[in-house]
Structure 1
Amino acid sequence: MGVSLLMGYAGQVSLGQAAFYAIGAYAAGLLAVHGAPPVLGLLLAPVVAAVAAVLLGAPLLRLRGHHLAFATLAVQLILLSVLASADWAGGAIGLQGIPRLVGDDLGYAYAAIVVLTLAVLVSRNVIASRPGRALRAAATSEIAAAASGVPVGRHRLAVFALSAAMAGLAGGVYAFYLGYLSPGSFPVLLSIEFVVMAVVGGLGTVAGPVVGAGVIIVLVQLLNTLGTQPGMPGYAPSVLSYAVYAIVLITCVLYLPRGLVPALRRLRIPSRAG
């Protein structure tokens, strides 16, 4: 949802969303390990991620296009290097002993639904607000928006922080679900996965990231199952996982450039007219 806001409405390309996912996860995990209530860690995870986004976004958002994409990717690579060498974060071994937020997996499913609902409601309200309209105007033409009095830089920094906060909140849920964090839990491929989910579902829509995430997760699970069948080589699951992102993204760009949700909406409109 954060990627859709950032790329679909603000027109900014980010390949480092998993960095803020990791920041939120480690913030929640470290607080809990040092005695803070898990609920407090979960509440502070998006705050820490948003603050980090403001500090990083102030210089980074001066960049545009692929320059910004590579800069955000570099942020994630630097973060992974820092976490791997930092003793306070568990180093390469990882952060262990994170307490559980709820008792069972079903409880975590409900927690994930609550977090998703919150993200959807926030996104809808932001999009419908005056700053949301200003973001769409800036994504269409930054010069025209600035000439109309829109503080483009301030709005883009705000949506960058909001996108990071959503990732941080999801990272907090992940930390308490897994109970263990390591730098290997947040590879670069994860950031690419977030982008593919948003693009496949439909950038600039509220329902698109939800649909895209469901489609990608199901496809990856099916391919992992296929890759672990008898007779398949040991590297088959990882190769198929990489392949699905490339194939799905190319197919979507060629045949569904706006994503699944806008395409489904276009199919419904003629049928209603008929």
Structure 2
Amino acid sequence: MRTTALVLAAAAAALALPVVLDGRQLGIYVLAGLAAMVTVGLALLMGFAGQISLGQASFYAIGAYTAGLLTVNGVPPLLGLAAAPVLAAGFAAVVGIGLLRLRGHYLAFATLAMQLILLSVLAQSEWAGGAIGLQGIPRLSVGGIELDEDVHYAYLVLAGLTGTLLVARNLVASRVGRGLRALATSEVAAGASGVPVGRYRLGVFALSAAFAGLAGGIYAFYLGYLGPGSFPVLLSVEYVVMAVVGGLGTVSGGVVGAVAIVLLVQVLNDIGTRPGMPSYAPSVLSYAVYGLLLVIAVLYLPRGLVPALSRRDRS
């Protein structure tokens, strides 16, 4: 009962905040929502399918560039946004056939290599804007109504996150979700019980990419500009930290972890950009704090914030 009340309170706050926040705060709200969409998919991949990905920002970039390139070349913005998760999921399905044969840290490094290759291709391709980036992406328009204010994108992100959570929760509660939990515990035992291990792993890999692709598509219209530097390796590390801190075994953990880390990133950026700090201070601080958070989470919150708070609430 208390959990339901907390969920309703969080939903009400999420609906009310865009009206009272100012410009910079609205930007943080949008970025937190986009990060939550990506992290929910990663939490499914890592917590329920037991697969580690250090390249989730790749699918975020694919979704963003898909929406941006299609729209710049005359495709209606709404169709460009719809194509973003589809292409990201399709790309994940193709590369996942080979990547998901790997296990553990081999898979993690392979997904990291995938992102590095993608960033290199984008930086050297004129059709993607090269190192300068893709410019002139128009604002998203729906039914002839242009979304030209940050508050519009705040509610668009909230709608996207709501849809993502509904899909994820329905999946977890389904027969496929039970198979995924068995898969995360032991692939051998799951396979012996009749779970189609390969198909399930590939399916959740593609679904997590679709979530990231949708977030990337919204990001493209919100920012109006894309460059390879918008999707650094550090961004993929952030998503992993968000998923681990929030709780890999829960869908809501992705949201909690994303909001907490985005707010922490803003604090670190403020500290790193103070007078007298070197230019590389924000990155160094971020890597150091992410590493520290992972150590703390593994030692003291192995299941993440949400499961820990749930246990405390029951006790």
| The two structures share one fold, judged by TM-score above 0.5 | yes
What is the CA–CA distance in structure 1 between the aligned matches of 2:267 and 2:101, rounded to whole Å?
Answer: 41
> Could you tell me how far 1:76 is from its partner in structure 2?
0.6
Q: Which residues of 2 match residues 84-233 of structure 1 at below 5 A?
A: 84-101=123-140, 102-233=147-278
What is the CA–CA distance in structure 2 between the aligned matches of 1:177 and 1:20, rounded to whole Å?
Answer: 17
Aligned with 2:74: secondary structure?
Answer: coil
What is the CA–CA distance in structure 2 between the aligned matches of 1:151 and 1:118, rounded to whole Å?
Answer: 26
> Could you tell me how far 1:195 is from its partner in structure 2?
0.5
Gaps of 5+ in 2: 1-39, 141-146
CA contact (8 A) 1:220 1:244 kept: no
> Could you tell me how far 1:139 is from its partner in structure 2?
1.1
Paired position in structure 1 for 2:118: 79
> Could you tell me how far 1:138 is from its partner in structure 2?
1.1
Paired position in structure 1 for 2:91: 52
Per-residue CA distance 1:212-240 (angstroms, 9 max, x = gap):
01111111111211223334344332322
What is the CA–CA distance in structure 2 between the aligned matches of 1:241 and 1:71, rounded to whole Å?
Answer: 23
Aligned with 1:63: secondary structure?
Answer: coil
What is the CA–CA distance in structure 1 between the aligned matches of 2:107 and 2:51, rounded to whole Å?
Answer: 8
Amino acid at match of 1:122: V
Per-residue CA distance 1:173-232 (angstroms, 9 max, x = gap):
111111111111111111110000000000020110100011111111112112233343
Amino-acid identity (%): 72
Aligned with 1:242: secondary structure?
Answer: helix
Q: How many residues align?
A: 270
| Correspondent of 1:33 among 72, 87, 90 | 72
Paired position in structure 1 for 2:54: 15
**Structure 2 residue 104 is the aligned partner of structure 1 residue 65:** yes
What is the CA–CA distance in structure 1 between the aligned matches of 2:158 and 2:45, rounded to whole Å?
Answer: 22
Paired position in structure 2 for 1:3: 42
Paired position in structure 1 for 2:34: none
Amino acid at match of 2:118: L
What is the CA–CA distance in structure 2 between the aligned matches of 1:227 and 1:87, rounded to whole Å?
Answer: 34
Per-residue CA distance 1:230-270 (angstroms, 9 max, x = gap):
34344332322222211211111111111000110111111
What is the CA–CA distance in structure 1 between the aligned matches of 2:269 and 2:61, rounded to whole Å?
Answer: 24
Per-residue CA distance 1:74-93 (angstroms, 9 max, x = gap):
11111111111111111111
Distance 1:88 1:234, change over 3 A: closer
What is the CA–CA distance in structure 2 between the aligned matches of 1:199 and 1:247, rounded to whole Å?
Answer: 12
What is the CA–CA distance in structure 2 between the aligned matches of 1:154 and 1:117, rounded to whole Å?
Answer: 26
| Correspondent of 1:43 among 69, 77, 82 | 82
CA contact (8 A) 1:10 1:139 kept: yes
What is the CA–CA distance in structure 1 between the aligned matches of 2:228 and 2:273, rounded to whole Å?
Answer: 25
TM-score of the two chains, using structure 2 as the length reference: 0.84
Aligned with 2:262: secondary structure?
Answer: helix
Aligned with 1:50: secondary structure?
Answer: helix
Amino acid at match of 2:164: A
> Could you tell me how far 1:3 is from its partner in structure 2?
0.5
Paired position in structure 2 for 1:260: 305
Per-residue CA distance 1:53-111 (angstroms, 9 max, x = gap):
11000111111111111111111111111111111111111111100111100001001
CA contact (8 A) 1:219 1:244 kept: no
What is the CA–CA distance in structure 1 between the aligned matches of 2:168 and 2:234, rounded to whole Å?
Answer: 25
Amino acid at match of 1:86: S
What is the CA–CA distance in structure 1 between the aligned matches of 2:123 and 2:149, rounded to whole Å?
Answer: 30
What is the CA–CA distance in structure 1 between the aligned matches of 2:121 and 2:301, rounded to whole Å?
Answer: 39
TM-score of the two chains, using structure 1 as the length reference: 0.96
Paired position in structure 2 for 1:236: 281
What is the CA–CA distance in structure 2 between the aligned matches of 1:66 and 1:234, rounded to whole Å?
Answer: 32
What is the CA–CA distance in structure 2 between the aligned matches of 1:178 and 1:135, rounded to whole Å?
Answer: 36
